């Protein structure tokens, strides 16, 4: 499904067993974010629980500053085995970029 419906534009982030990709949804012509949790050497079952909780939380929220839940599916291709969470794309600087620029945030 990832290769059929979504065209990767760029990688937004990467952590152990996780990748965040900016993609073009070929059906809707929208930019969306696809978060991947892959079963690789760094995978831990706790990661799957957190990933599923993120998907469930995102699905229940509705706020203009929070990405919308769009889809969640299993990946089983030659390249990826795992799960994908698809959410709307909100063009903005990352938290990491803002912190590196010296911005601080209050509670």
pLDDT of residue 35: 93
Residues 46-67 pLDDT 10s: 788 888 898 999 999 999 888 9
Residues 62-106 pLDDT 10s: 998 889 999 998 888 887 788 999 999 998 888 888 999 999 988
Q: Which residue has the higher pLDDT, 46 or 22?
A: 22
Mode of pairing for the β-strands spanning 81-88 and 6-15: unpaired
Give the chain's domains with CATH numbers.
2-100 (3.30.200.20)
pLDDT of residue 60: 93
Query: SS3 of 75, please?
Result: strand
Find all residues with CB under 8 Å of 52, minimum gap 6, and list them: 83
pLDDT of residue 77: 81
């Amino acid at each position: 499904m990832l290769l059929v419906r979504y065209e990767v534009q760029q990688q937004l982030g990467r952590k152990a067993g996780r990748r965040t990709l900016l993609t073009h949804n070929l059906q809707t012509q929208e930019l969306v974010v696809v978060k991947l949790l892959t079963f690789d050497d760094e995978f831990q079952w706790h990661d799957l629980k957190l990933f599923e909780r993120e998907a469930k939380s995102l699905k229940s929220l509705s706020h203009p500053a929070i990405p919308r839940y769009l889809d969640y599916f299993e990946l089983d291709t030659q390249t990826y085995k795992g799960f994908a969470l698809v959410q709307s794309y909100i063009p903005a600087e990352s938290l990491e970029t803002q912190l590196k620029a010296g911005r601080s945030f209050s509670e």
